[in-house]
Structure 1
């Protein structure tokens, strides 16, 4: 009993310390996952606490469940708009890019570590996936927003290349364990994992959506049903020879985009579960590693990390994105954001559990590479994004949003709350003075803790909270009027988009009436929207820029069909 109580005490303390340590991460700009890993190492065998943990089976069990929850959560948060913008390039990176990375790193590992080609390729497969959670936790903590096409490509790639890396790793582990050779049967096994995983994920997603709409359960039970379903689908897909991780990610995508009234509750709970999973994985992996054992392959692992970061990843990005004509600065950033996280370390447990030769080598090398990636790439993501000028102004949003998901409305309705600050554009005015381009209902204000009804026609003062009822799809338009940052954000917008904003339907001839422009052979009747769209062989996103003589035209707003509505105009910097 004392041992159990001590285990619970230590576990709770490690979680507490890890969560408090995120404050250090935010202040230093360091990846949170690196902090969790360091806490685990300090508590481990060579650390301050000296906890001895050498159980790869338990580590694999916890890691697998954690990855299921993380991938399911990532799938739910992947919106169709991001797929329309970046599905093709992200798919190339998640397939061809993973194979190229595996090949370059694998052959290098075989040479450096004196391994066979298959063993080297196995290490390459283990190190071939990127970590979305690590990347976007840094962006979120630093309040950085980058161009949608780049962000969407990275997000979809990171969510979908994990299953690819898992399938490659399992295939190569089976080859080593059975002392087989690489032939067409291996390719058949790989295809089986992809096809079965995709089919099971699609079917599970549809069934779960059907059950959510039919079962008369309390809303509190649906997040639990989602967790149970994702773990069940992962296990049963693996039993049929498919990729359980691919199935879970696809299931999450279908559930997250089905417009279920329960989705808000599911997302809220899974946000916390995903963080618990991240903390659990990195604490456990920090406990599992013995730093003194890393010395044997440390130099080779550091060289391999350099090859991965500076050769394999850029080469994979360059080749994979050739058909999509990404700007060079976008490719540089995507290459640099090949951040490694928990997945490679979890995958390194596969050969350990299978009893493959050099089982500890895979884990030790993967651990060193992940540490180097988190420190070198993770700490420099934000400066690199700003150096490449990929940052775009953040969207205005309410201070609080309360969805009315139990109301049987065709459109998702929300109660929005906006705090009135000293610099707020609505300070000193009343509701009747405001103009909106969408439907919105004023619900009153909260002043000194008291609710003042709309009938009183209050004038908005500092420290008031304005409450409105609106459709979810109209939140952005309403925030542009009511958000506290609405007037100060114009400084950021003008720096990025320019001081002047024109309708996308304005013709080049109309623009020439305001500016002296060398049109060359351009069709002056062509609209700004058409002119910009023709210069991109892909879907245009907010922040895309083209040059017209001495002017820079920047896409500022798009409609639901991807047509340019507003264009920012600014002169070229001297």
Structure 2
């Protein structure tokens, strides 16, 4: 046991160090984790003989629950709404088209049966959320026309569809096509997955607001359990657990939840660990000596998907929306494959008793995708003039630190104010505050009890930082060029009784709003809401 734990700690430390090194070298972080697993594997330096596909499938499937849940939880629906239909079609119809076109290619080129070819197409049909998030975040790659939001929403939601198709074709391979009706399977997978995801999210939010209000720390553990329940609950009745987890995540992530800051930090760390586990374990499971033997089919399938099947699906879906050719080309190139595809390949090897080479073909394709598409995505975006230098890609995620304590208060003393002409000793400041500076035409000075305040003086008060703001939640709304708020006064913005706009970030300026302030494109509204 001690030796095993020592090995685990070494691997974790190595992954953390690789994260720093890979960022400096420009290598996709997840690729570094795979190479580390291969280094420890049977053909590597440490020669750990690990061929337990069932164990790897279980661990990776559990890890995917949290990655997919947080993919939904971290989606800012306000940013994603303008591209939700496009992303939704890419994550459903796009996966189906990519899988079927690739399956046809495998059938005719490699002389596979129709079902086996379509199974392979389904396994590698989805884009990988972890890979896409990693590239967009690490390179701070914001893209024009809300493309970053589209890719984020698509990659976070298309694994359930690929999983569903994979399960259907695995079952058809097992029973020769005489099993359960595929149409009924699709309907039950989607229907139960959606319903369970919504129900679990609603109940979980109610619990957080009414039962766990004073349970400090337990709300994080509770949401962790909610992610597991949303997956298991759907799977228990024949639904798509990954779809359920994603829907639960997106509903909870865009709801008013107390201490969401702590949840974001917790799941950031959790999903980072899960990504390390998945990619390291898959690298450990692989046998690099077997990769040359599957290089030709892997390279051919990768090139066909990158140049034919993915672009065909993307152009078919986005062209009717009159998307620009440059945007469609970039979305086509950004179809990174990742851990989910390898996990689905393990399921196929285990469930349908397919050749082990299927795992290594999929593994090789993922390596090629992360290495080439991941590494060159920023350059392709730049060459297509798709980089939005004035935007912030992090605004496509709900990463805002909600509970930002106000430590300083600044205001200018107006004419007629009761403090005018008085010394600090003569005025009454709010409890537990102190005046830290006074600025006027003479300059800025640190005041003392004899300092006299005059009209036009800019004063700064300091207050104790609250340990915790219970019952309230701060959130951001970014006013982009499509917002209906542009040109409207604060008084015209519809808010409920429990919500107040407390400040506006306009460039480098901080504006304390009143009802007459008119909103401009690029403004960031910070809103305070009462959490019931």
TM-score with structure 1 setting the length: 0.72
The answer for the alignment partner of 1:270 in structure 2 is: 267
Match of 1:353 in 2: 350
CA distance in 2, matches of 1:256, 1:76: 4
For residues 128 and 160 of structure 2, the distance between their equivalents in structure 1, rounded to whole angstroms, comes to 12
Q: Cα RMSD over matched residues? A: 3.2
Separation of aligned partners in 1, 2:413 and 2:22: 41
In the alignment, structure 1 residue 385 sits paired with structure 2 residue 377: no
Find the counterpart in structure 2 of residue 110 from structure 1.
Answer: 107
Give the Cα–Cα distance (whole angstroms) in 2 for the partners of residues 357 and 25 of structure 1. Answer: 35
SS in 2 for 1:456: strand
Distance (whole Å) between structure 2 residues aligned to residue 136 and residue 346 of structure 1:
19
Farther-moved stretch of structure 1 (276-285 vs 135-144): 135-144
Secondary structure of the structure 2 residue equivalent to 1:78: coil
Distance apart, 1:482 and its partner CA: 5.2
Residue pairs, 1:328-407, within 5 angstroms: 328-358=325-355, 360-394=356-390, 403-404=402-403
> 2: distance between equivalents of 1:402 and 1:376?
34
Change (3 A) 1:329 1:460: farther
Q: How does 1:24-63 map to 2 (within 5 A)?
A: 24-63=21-60
* More deviation, 303-312/209-218: 209-218
- How far residue 218 of structure 1 moved from its aligned partner, in angstroms, is 2.0
Give, in whole Å, the separation in 2 of the partners of 1:417 and 1:128: 50
The 5 A counterparts of 1:97-246 are: 97-147=94-144, 149-180=146-177, 185-216=181-212, 217-246=214-243
Give, in angstroms, the shift of residue 151 of structure 1.
1.1
Task: Kindly state the Cα deviation for residue 7 of structure 1 after the two structures are TM-superposed.
Answer: 1.4
Shift in alpha-carbon separation, 1:467–1:339, aligned structure 2, 3 A: farther
Contact (CA 8 Å) 2:436, 2:462: kept in 1 or not?
Answer: no
Asked if structure 2 preserves the Cα contact closer than 8 Å seen for 1:107 and 1:120, the reply is yes
Deviation digits for residues 519-539 of structure 1 (CA, Å, limit 9, x no counterpart): xxxxxxxxxxxxxxxxxxxxx
Query: What do the CA deviations read for 1:3-59 (whole angstroms, capped 9, x no partner)?
Result: x21111111111111110111211122211101111111111101111111111111
**Alignment correspondent of 1:547:** none
Deviations 1:517-566 (A, max 9, x none): xxxxxxxxxxxxxxxxxxxxxxxxxxxxxxxxxxxxxx954899xxxxxx
Per-residue CA distance 1:147-181 (angstroms, 9 max, x = gap): 35211111111111100000000011011111116
Contact conserved, 1:122 with 1:172, CA < 8 A, in 2? Answer: yes
CA distance in 1, matches of 2:266, 2:71: 13
Q: CA deviation at 1:323?
A: 2.3
Distance in 1 (alpha carbons) for counterparts of 2:100 and 2:410? 63
Q: CA deviation at 1:225?
A: 1.1
Please identify, of 78-87 and 374-383, the stretch whose mean Cα deviation from structure 2 is larger.
78-87
Shift of 1:478: 3.1
Give a deviation string over 1:456-484, Cα, whole Å, max 9, x none.
Answer: 326789xxx9989995446983362359x
Q: CA offsets per residue over residues 488-509 of structure 1, 9 Å max, x none?
A: xxxxxxxxxxxxxxxx99xxxx
Cα contact 1:131–1:340 (8 A) shared by 2: yes
Distance of aligned partners of 1:235 and 1:31 in 2 relative to their CA distance in 1, 3 Å threshold: same
The match for 1:477 among 495, 504, 508 is 504
1:476/1:329 CA distance change after superposition, 3 Å: farther
State the partner residue of 2:437: 456
**What's the secondary structure of 1:477's corresponding residue?**
strand
1:173 touches 1:351 (CA, 8 Å); kept in 2? Answer: yes
Match of 1:259 in 2: 256
The 8 Å contact of residues 68 and 156 in structure 2, kept in 1 or not, is answered as: yes
Does the CA-based 8 Å contact 1:112-1:300 persist in structure 2? no
* Cα distance, 1:191–1:477 mapped onto 2, change above 3 Å: same
User: Do residues 79 (structure 1) and 52 (structure 2) align?
Assistant: no
Residues 275 and 479 of structure 1: CA distance in aligned 2, closer, same or farther (over 3 Å): farther
Judge conservation of contact 1:401–1:417 (CA < 8 Å) in 2.
Answer: no
CA distance in 2, matches of 1:310, 1:381: 15
Note closer, same or farther for the CA distance 1:401–1:65 as it changes in structure 2 (3 Å cut).
closer
Kindly state the Cα deviation for residue 133 of structure 1 after the two structures are TM-superposed. 2.2
Residues 431 and 457, structure 1, Cα contact 8 Å, conserved in 2? no
- Kept in 2, the 8 Å contact 1:173–1:356? The answer is no
Higher RCO, Cα 8 Å, sep 6+:
2
- State the 1:432 CA deviation: 4.9
CA 1:274–1:71: 2 relative to 1, 3 Å: same
TM-score (norm 2): 0.78
Counterpart Cα distance in 2 of 1:353 and 1:460: 72
Verify the 8 A CA contact 1:75 1:252 in the aligned structure 2.
Answer: yes
Report how far residue 87 of structure 1 moved.
0.9
Q: Structure 1: where are the runs of 5+ without partners?
A: 405-413, 419-429, 436-450, 484-503, 506-554, 561-574
* CA pair 19-416 structure 1, distance change in 2 beyond 3 A: farther
Cα 1:416–1:384 shift into 2, 3 Å? farther
Corresponding position of 2:451: none
Structure 2 match to 1:540 = none
Give the Å deviation of 1:190: 1.2
Call closer, same or farther: CA 1:417–1:379 in 2, change over 3 Å: farther
Aligned to 1:88: 85
**1-structure distance, mates of 2:38, 2:360:** 13
Could you tell me whether the CA contact under 8 Å between 1:403 and 1:415 is conserved in 2? no
Is the contact made by 2:192 and 2:238 (CA closer than 8 Å) also made in structure 1? yes
Alpha-carbon distance in 2 for matches of 1:17, 1:311: 38
Number of equivalences: 448
Aligned to 1:448: none
Where structure 2 has 5 or more consecutive residues not aligned to the other structure, the ranges are 415-431, 446-459, 466-472, 477-500, 511-517, 526-532
